[in-house]
Amino acid sequence: MKFRAIGIAPGTKSERYPRKASDYSNKIYDGIQLRRNHRNEPVVIMCSKRDDPLRWKVVYGFSSIFFRTLAEAVEFCNSRGMELVKEQYE
């Protein structure tokens, strides 16, 4: 049996936060945008490397929600108060 991590853990206090969205990339998804929720936990907008009909997803905690466009994913985050981590662009 092979165990795979699901979701995004907030990390330990000794880890440097914020990370970059690309730190969450894997074989199937690229991390595009890093945000944080009201508890200061990471939220990542990811894009599928495959040509899937729902290629965008928002991952937070143990939840993943899929969208057709980046605009829909961003709107979902904005409507729930998930703030963009500006430090990732510096």
Look at residue 12 and tell me if it is in a domain.
no
Q: What is the mean pLDDT of each run of 10 residues along the chain (90 residues)?
A: 51 56 92 92 94 93 94 97 76
What distance in Å separates the CA atoms of residue 47 and residue 55, rounded to the nearest whole number? 6
Closest CA to 32 of 11, 9, 55, 63: 55
Predicted model pTM = 0.79
Look at residue 15 and tell me if it is in a domain.
no
Find the domain containing 51 and state its range: 21-89
The pLDDT of residue 10 is 58
Look at residue 59 and tell me if it is in a domain.
yes
Look at residue 3 and tell me if it is in a domain.
no
The pLDDT of residue 23 is 87
* Interstrand relation of 63-67 and 83-84 (parallel, antiparallel or unpaired): unpaired
Q: Name beta bridge partners: 64.
A: 59
In 10 A of CB 29, how many CB atoms?
20
Look at residue 10 and tell me if it is in a domain.
no
Number of domains in the chain: 1
The pLDDT of residue 20 is 86
